Each structure stands twice: as C-alpha cells, then as structure tokens.
Copies of this chain bind each other. A is one copy, B any other.
C-alpha cells in the first residue's frame, strides 16, 4: 500500500480539509491549484463518483465523455471567448489553431445534441460526464476548494419546452440533495447567481463550513436562502425626515474615505453617499450607494451586463477625468463622462453628504432628483447580517459555505447559438430548452472533510470512506496476532468489504495515530488478547471501545454496514 502520512504540513494547510488531506497522504500538490490524488484519496473520489453515477442513472441520465480540449471557435460563437478572460487556459496546436481547456461544456453539448437530435420523440435527454476540468484561478487556494485542475461531474439536459425543463430541473434538484445527503453533508440549497454561464434560474448546493469562501444568507422564519452575491435586498424606507435643505460645499482637507468623513463630520454612515468609480471596457461607471453599505460587484456587473471580472477600479487619471478632482472626493453631483448606477436606497435619502468632485471638498444636503439623476437605479448592495428578509421581513443570518453543486436553467441561450432545434408533434421546428447541472467532485471531497474531522484527523462517513474497516495488528512479530489479524481481514474481504490491514512493523502508537488521521470508520485492533480470541472494536467517531470475540467483531461490522445500507 502506498501510504505516507505526514506529521506536519509544510506551510500549506490553509484550512482543515487541506491540512488533513495532505497529512493523511490522500492528495499531493504538484503546482499551485494542481493536485494529484494518491491511492487512498482516489478511492474516496471514486466512491463519490459512484454515488453520483447511481443517482444520475436512476433518473435516466446517460454517461459519456466529451473532450476536455475544446476548439476556440465554439467559444467565439457563443461570445464567451472574450468573457472568460484569463479564467480559461488557452493554447494553440502546431497548426496555430486556438483551443481551450474546458472549464464547462455548454457549447459542446448544444452543438452535439443540436446536430443529432431531430424529433420530439428523442426528448427529453440528460447527458453527463465526470472528468478533469480546468480554470486559471487568479489565486488558487484552500487546497481542493479552489483548484486549477479539478474533477467535475457536469450534465446537460434538453427538453421540448419550459415545462419539460422545469420537471427535469426539479428532478435534478432532488437528485443533488440525495447525492449530497449520501455523502454525509449538511448543506443548504440557495438561490444563486447565473454567472458567466447565463440562463434563468439557478440554485447552489452549499455545504455549511466556517472555512467556506462562499457567503450565503438564510432566513430563519421563511424558506429564503441565497448566495450573498445573489441575495436581493429589501428596499427599506429611511431618512425621509424634513424637507430638502440648501446644497452647500464644505472644506474637508485630506478627508478621502467614508470612515474619515464620518469622524470628521460626526455624521452616521447612513447619511453619507459613497461613489465608486469603475472602468468597464472603455466606459467609466460610477456606483453610488449609502455610505455604510458594501457594494455587491456581481449585482453591478449584472446591471451592466458584463462579467464581474470586467469591473476594474478606475485609475487616478480616469477619476480626475470625470470628477476634476483627486481620488477621494467623487460624488454624483456634476459628475461627467460616467454612467451613474445608484443603489435603490439612494433616491430615498434626504440631505446626504457626498464628494464635491473638487479636491478637499464635500457637499452637504445632497438630494436625489433635485441635485443629480442616475442612469440606472438598481439593487447594488451586499446583504448584511440582520437585514430584513426580502420575502418576509425577518432578520436574515449570514453563513459561510462551500458551493459543491449548482443547477441552472439555461433556457434557449445555447440552443439559439448552435441551432439546437427539433421537430415537434405538429411538424413545427422548435428550440430545445436546456439545463446544466454541475458537481465539483474534488471540492465535495474537501467539503466532507471540513464537516467530518476532529483534532486527530478525518472522520469519513461510511459511504465515502476509502476503506470501511481497518484491522490493526499491534505487534506484527507476534505470530498469534498476525494470524488473527489476517483471519479477520480475509473474512471481511470475503464478504466484499473494503478492509485495510495495518501489518506495518511500527509501534502501536504510530499505527493508532495514522488510523485516526486517515479516518477509517470501523477499527478492529488485534493485540495482546489475540491468544484468547479477543480483539478490540472501536468506531472512529466514538470514544468507547469494546472487547469482542473475533467473530463477534466480524459480525458486528457486517451488521453496522447493513444498517447503514452499505451491504
């Protein structure tokens, strides 16, 4: 057995799953965001894949595999070649033809099915594949959470109409819930942003974890749950007091931040206007929102119909171009050469404070409508803990999580581009209606560890454990112990149980530490009482251990696995 545990992780372990998977010898890093899966770790991957296959197949989805290597021209046809920017790996073949390493396969599947399926009788159709995918992450981190090469299951459905898609979509919603439950995960299904894939409705399956980098907002009173990116904020009513006062310019030397302004003026954040200037392609855009709010860049990007990475902070020079002032004094009044996008709260504010577009000056008593107009008024801000739920008004809770799956209603976006049409019952040609369903398999493995570990190591759920049982022979030089260990090992193997025999010539302590670290759920220890036919039985998740006759230990193992539906 190739088996190499580490006592410490060289600098790298950013979160428990990363640290423990490295220490347990389940994964090895080859380059930033690029990992190999060692024999133990790969067994976990294959078990997760098997769960996915069983659940997808049960719904009539069909497995195949398309190339990871995709012609650039398909991405140009769908207009995503530019949109993905540096996020995809691009390369050229020896003839100078452009390719990319697919981070996703909408183009390929729309083209494939569009080219072959002709009749309504062949629909609906749901095709899936499990393969390595590629994404040139800016900062690959957190071990298997954010990788540049990762293992993914992606599926694409083709329906006759929107009702059909709805059926498939909610069936996949169920299927995903079952898959992640079988993996032993505690997760939330949240409304999600469509991102660069595009489409109409989408849900993410987010595993709750303090180390997750996805924030989700949930309501405890109703069923509202959404990614923070996507969470729609309620438009409240504030500051509507009194009448509009006269606009005044005030001297605020060197006061360039909202924080400094609050202190200098002694005014609360909800009385201030924040103006952030971005460069989007060749255009300047000013996002205006309440001083105590955070901008949700995804909402701004969606409003502008560009991908989030297209938003860049404007240079000092560009800021000067539209404000005539140094950076730090921008405001919506009199702003030139920039599109103004205001948060929905901005028109409700009375007599606010804003930058004066003049170095070292701000304006007080700024009022929307009288003093400035926006080009767009939209929901721009990031939801905060305690904000009113957009559905029921109760305060929302924010939580961190790891998005392990996403389902999307793509509609006809790709069918249109690749002419994926069929002839219906009345001989009319119609567009197929598509859905896409992804699971990040390698990230799921990490998420399982995030939720199942203690200070000594991993606690694999039985369903995905690399081995279900570990038989540890304390002293391999003792023939009685070795013989007993091999007997139990063989008995379990004969019952088709995944069992590992630790017959290394190491001290017992080393073996127990390793067993805890790699987290095999059931442990049978053969020690001094082997001569009496007695072994120790212990579950990794529980402190207790009991002494049993060796066949009692085998029997108990079989019973446990049967109860868990694993046999």
Could you tell me which A residues sit within 8 Å of B by CB distance? Answer: 1-2, 4, 25, 28, 30-31, 34-39, 41-42, 45, 62-71, 86, 89-91, 93-94, 97, 99, 101, 108, 112, 116-117, 121, 125, 127, 131-132, 134, 136, 138, 148-149, 505
Contact = CB atoms under 8 A, between A and B. Distances in A.
Nearest to A69: B149
Stoichiometry, copies per complex: 2
Nearest to A140: B93
B62 A37 contact: no
Contacts of A149: 67-69
Q: Which 10 A-B pairs have the closest CB atoms?
A: A91-B91, A36-B66, A39-B62, A86-B94, A4-B116, A42-B64, A34-B67, A69-B149, A39-B64, A37-B65
24 contacts: A2-B64, A4-B116, A4-B117, A30-B66, A30-B69, A30-B70, A31-B67, A31-B71, A35-B67, A37-B64, A39-B62, A39-B63, A41-B64, A45-B65, A67-B132, A67-B149, A69-B148, A91-B91, A91-B101, A93-B148, A101-B101, A121-B505, A131-B132, A132-B132
Given A89-B91, A94-B136, A132-B132, A67 B4 contact: no
A101 B42 CA distance: 21
Nearest to A128: B39
A35 B37 CA distance: 26
B65 A36 contact: yes
Contacts of A31: 67, 69, 71, 97, 99
A79 B423 CA distance: 57
Contacts of A67: 30-31, 34-36, 132, 149
Nearest to A74: B30
Given A4-B116, A91-B89, A138-B94, A108 B30 contact: yes
A348 to B, nearest CB: 42
Contacts of A36: 64-67, 108, 112
B91 A90 contact: yes
Nearest to A41: B64
A208 B66 CA distance: 29
A244 to B, nearest CB: 49
B138 A69 contact: no
Most interface-central of A1, A2, A37 (chain B CB within 10 A): A2
Contacts of A86: 94
Contacts of A63: 39, 42
Contacts of A2: 62, 64, 125, 127
A328 B387 CA distance: 87
Nearest to A39: B62
A282 to B, nearest CB: 22
A54 to B, nearest CB: 14
Given A30-B71, A36-B67, A69-B149, 5 more contacts: A1-B62, A25-B116, A37-B64, A39-B127, A67-B149
A117 B3 CA distance: 9
A303 to B, nearest CB: 27
Nearest to A65: B37
A536 to B, nearest CB: 26
A112 B28 contact: yes
Contacts of A136: 93-94
Nearest to A109: B36
Contacts of A70: 30
Contacts of A64: 2, 36-39, 41-42
A105 B454 CA distance: 36
A63 B45 CA distance: 12
Contact of A89 (B35, B38, B39, B93): B93
Contacts of A94: 86, 136, 138
A296 to B, nearest CB: 25
Nearest to A504: B121
A259 B505 CA distance: 72
A42 B69 CA distance: 17
A226 to B, nearest CB: 30
Contacts of A38: 64
A2 B2 CA distance: 40
A491 to B, nearest CB: 20
A89 B67 CA distance: 15
Most interface-central of A66, A90, A149 (chain B CB within 10 A): A66
A56 B363 CA distance: 76
A101 B97 CA distance: 16
Contacts of A99: 31
Contacts of A65: 36-37, 42, 45
Contacts of A66: 30, 36-37
A324 to B, nearest CB: 35
Contacts of A125: 2
A349 to B, nearest CB: 41
Contacts of A30: 66-67, 69-71, 108
A41 B99 CA distance: 24
A16 to B, nearest CB: 22
A165 to B, nearest CB: 18
A301 B56 CA distance: 51
Contacts of A116: 4, 25
B1 A134 contact: no
A68 B138 contact: no
A132 B131 CA distance: 9
